[in-house]
Structure 1
Amino acid sequence: MSAQRVTPSRSDLRRWRQHLADERAEAAIYRDLAHRRDGADRDILLALADAEARHEQHWLDLLGTHVGTPRRPTLRTRALGFLARHFGSVFVLALAQRAEARSTYESDADATPRMAADERVHEEVVRALAARGRSRLSGAFRAAVFGANDGLVSNLALVLGVSATGVSTHTLLATGMAGLLAGALSMGAGEYVSVRSQRELLEASTPNPHTRAALPQLDVDANELALVYRARGMNEAEADAKADEVLRALGSADTGSIDDAAHDDSHEAVGNALTAAVSSFCCFAAGALIPVVPFLFGLHGTAAIGLSAGLVGVALLGTGVVVGLLSGGPPLPRALRQLLIGYGASAATYLLGLMFGGGFG
């Protein structure tokens, strides 16, 4: 084994020292995150830090007297550590999830199979922790991302399409600002109705907590409660067993609901209607403002159009990166997807403006 080498190569020493630095940094990240949480989340994060400490010890044992001057962690790990110390949010957990997924231990002959397995399991642990935060912010985050992207793409397309007809800069600016306001109001109103309607549908499907008061009066032999569980998809035997369990619990300290599923976080994942509406309005307006910025500063013609498209392109790449990082996936493909979709829609509208440009002469 590599641990028995008397004189490891320089490349081995560099690799082991880098692994050692990264394990130390990752353990510190989990401890920083743990200090910002309590309960089970805190215990889980501290256990992850302990696991990274075991991996650290493995590389220390391999290095022996060749530990040398401590190396700096990779730039990615240092950036993650900075975010953990200063924010400690679901965004950091999403980055940590991606960092665990990039582990090279499976292909590293000097890492043990147990270490490689640990890293895979760590990815799932962090994924589960991040999923709770994703659920809590999904409503407002979805509204914000959709609002910003809609504002960027729709107003850039509007500005490019109208500019292709040859109208004046003043008319173009007025069109862009009108598109900003109309689109933001439409997005905000639409988001409010959408989220409010979804919450009302969920509430209509959620078991009534007051039903429990009627349970002691049920005919145990007929056991109407079993029909509830059969209606929810259980077979007859499962429904009877579940109903018996609930009825037996009536006389015990267990005061649980008729159905534990009534306490899920579906409503939380949908979000608050007003919050989603305000988020969508503000983010659409912010996104829609970017394409008209060059015209606000007096630019016109090709220079203004080029700068407008460039600013929107940068913003689209930024929103794509944020979505990619928060989802735990590779950010670059998502950023390029956002860019191509935005530019594709804008190019189509610009061509349409050219086709009808003669009518505005």
Structure 2
Amino acid sequence: MPERIPTAAEIKRWRQYLADERAEASVYRDLAMRRDGEEQTILLSLAAAEGRHEQHWLGLLGEHAKKPVHPSLHNRLLGLLARRFGSVFVLALAQRAESRSPYATDADATDTMAADEAIHEEVVRGLATRGRIRLSGSFRAAVFGANDGLVSNLSLVVGMGATGVSSQVVLFSGVFGLLAGALSMGAGEYVSVRSQRELIDASQPTQVTLTAAPSLDLENNELVLVYLARGMSRETAEHRAAERLGQYSCDCDPSTSLQPDKFEEVDEHETLGTAWGAATSSFCFFASGAIIPIIPFLFGLTGMGALLLSCVLVGITLMGTGAVVGLLSGASPLWRGLRQLGIGMGAAAATYLLGLASGGLIGS
């Protein structure tokens, strides 16, 4: 059977695949250098798999592999970020890259390679999920606070501007809108975190069973109720109560004889953070978003030009925050950015129309 002669288009496509496989393997190796234990092993295994794919394209290219090409822009950016940061942000980008693999529809890629890429997406998703969970609380507060500041203060500024009041009044409205909103966000977050922590503290079991047990009535053993309330079966609860009362000790069944009352420690400080920390960060996040709509007025711009520039600045910021949310969630950054933009501009347009109507009523 004569050896297949690849076309120019095939050679070009294979070279690109080869460059991208090498780049992806390098990304995983760079990420592995910043990890240890199981995560490092997983990342090195992914790099080895990309190396096997690289050998496949080298075999098809033969002598045509000698002329290297650059990886795709996405993979070059990914490599740069992996070398500099090695964060969950890079893993989220890698997850998205794996999800866009063309091997499932490319006849020159093997079924094993296509299956590898599909599995790689899930592996990277799992690694990224660990970081996403660690980020979820602070990231939610940052996105919610900044976007709330952007949208609410832009709506206030354009609404006031539409009524026909002076630019100075619009500026002061925006400044006090920033302060009122940021203080409200900070106070609300403080109360929220404090209340949640108090509820959790109230639910934690105490060691009262150890001190009260010797004085309990043996015939009406209230201690059994304690263990039943904690979710134990009646058999286990009775066994534990008997141990606490000193009736007998038995280590024959670890599932019922658990020895000292030990409760799983939950690091609530890591989960909830401090109330003052949450309040401060919410204040800053809201203020960082709310100051953007008033920037044109702070620099002396007035009238419709200042309002339009405010909308442009807020729109760019909304697109940016939406894109970051999309990247971290493994979704399309463009779609998430457009969604944020649409929500923000829709709210601003509604208040602008209300401002026009209010200005008309005031003028009449």
Instruction: Output the TM-score relative to the length of structure 2.
Output: 0.84
**Correspondence 1:246 to 2:248:** no
- Give the direction of change, closer, same or farther, for the CA distance of 1:174–1:330 in structure 2 (3 Å limit): same
| CA contact 2:322–2:337 (8 Å) conserved in 1 | yes
Cα displacement (A) at 1:206? 5.5
How many Å separate the matches in 1 of 2:235 and 2:93? Answer: 45
Range that drifts further, 125-134 or 170-179: 125-134
Determine if contact 1:137/1:269 at 8 Å carries over to the other structure.
Answer: no
Greater shift, 171-180 or 57-66, is seen at 57-66
Write the deviation string for residues 245-304 of structure 1: whole angstroms up to 9, x where unpaired.
434665xxxx9x857xx4677874544443332222112111111111111111111111
Letter paired with 1:17: R
Question: How much has 1:35 moved relative to structure 2?
Answer: 0.8
Instruction: Provide Cα deviations, 1:67-126, integer angstroms capped at 9, x if missing partner.
Output: 121111100010111111111111111111111111111111111111111111111111
**3-state SS, counterpart of residue 303 of structure 1:** helix
| Paired position in structure 1 for 2:278 | 276
Partner of 1:353: 355
* Separation in 2, partners of 1:129, 1:164: 49
CA contact (8 A) 1:192 1:274 kept: yes
Using a 3 Å threshold, how does the CA distance of structure 1 residues 34 and 48 change in structure 2: closer, same or farther? Answer: same
Check 1:206–1:73 CA distance in 2 against 1; reply closer, same or farther (3 A cut): farther
Distance 1:133 1:229, change over 3 A: farther
- 1:65: Cα distance to partner? 2.1
Q: CA deviation at 1:42?
A: 1.4
* Mapped partners of 2:7, 2:53: distance in 1: 21
Residue 198 of structure 1 deviates from its aligned partner by 3.0
CA shift digits 1:142-177 (9 cap, x unpaired): 111111100100000000111111111111111100
- Residue 25 of structure 1 contacts residue 81 of structure 1 at CA under 8 Å; is this kept in 2? yes
Contact 1:41 1:129 in 2 (8 A): yes
Match of 2:338 in 1: 336
Contact 1:148 1:283 in 2 (8 A): yes
Q: Which residue of 2 aligns with 1:176?
A: 174
Q: In 2, Cα distance between the equivalents of 1:183 and 1:16?
A: 55
Whichever residue aligns with residue 45 of structure 2, its letter is A
Tell me what 1:35 maps to.
Answer: 33
SS in structure 1 at match of 2:51: helix
The equivalent residue for 2:10 is 12
Aligned pair count?
A: 343
Distance change (3 Å), C-alpha of 1:135 and 1:200: farther
Which residue identity lines up with residue 160 of structure 1 in the other structure? V
CA contact under 8 A between 2:171 and 2:297: conserved in structure 1?
Answer: yes
Report if the CA contact (8 A) 1:135-1:269 is conserved: no
Q: CA RMSD in A?
A: 3.2
Q: CA deviation at 1:239?
A: 10
Assess, with a 3 A threshold, how the Cα gap between structure 1 residues 314 and 338 changes in structure 2: closer, same or farther: same
What TM-score do the two structures reach when normalised by structure 1? 0.85
CA gap of 1:258–1:59, structure 2 versus 1, over 3 A, is farther
Larger Rg: 2
- The residue correspondences of 1:221-236 to structure 2 (distance < 5 A) are 232=231
Contact 1:212 1:258 in 2 (8 A): no
Quote how far apart the aligned CAs of 1:196 are: 3.2
The structure-2 alpha-carbon separation of the partners of 1:330 and 1:213, relative to structure 1 and needing over 3 Å to count, comes to farther
Unaligned regions of 5+ residues in structure 2, if any?
239-250
User: Given that residues 160 and 350 in structure 1 are in contact (C-alpha distance below 8 angstroms), is that contact kept between their aligned partners in structure 2?
Assistant: yes
- The one-character-per-residue Cα deviations of 1:36-74 (angstroms, maximum 9, x if unpaired) are 112221111111111111111111122222212111110
1:160/1:346 contact within 8 Å kept: yes
Change (3 A) 1:53 1:213: farther
SS at match of 1:73: coil
Aligned positions of 1:194-273 closer than 5 A? 194-205=192-203, 232=231, 244-247=253-256, 262=264, 268-273=270-275
Match of 1:124 among 118, 122, 125: 122
Contact 2:236 2:256 in 1 (8 A): no
CA apart distance, 1:127: 1.1
The 1:34/1:118 distance shift into structure 2, 3 A limit, reads: same
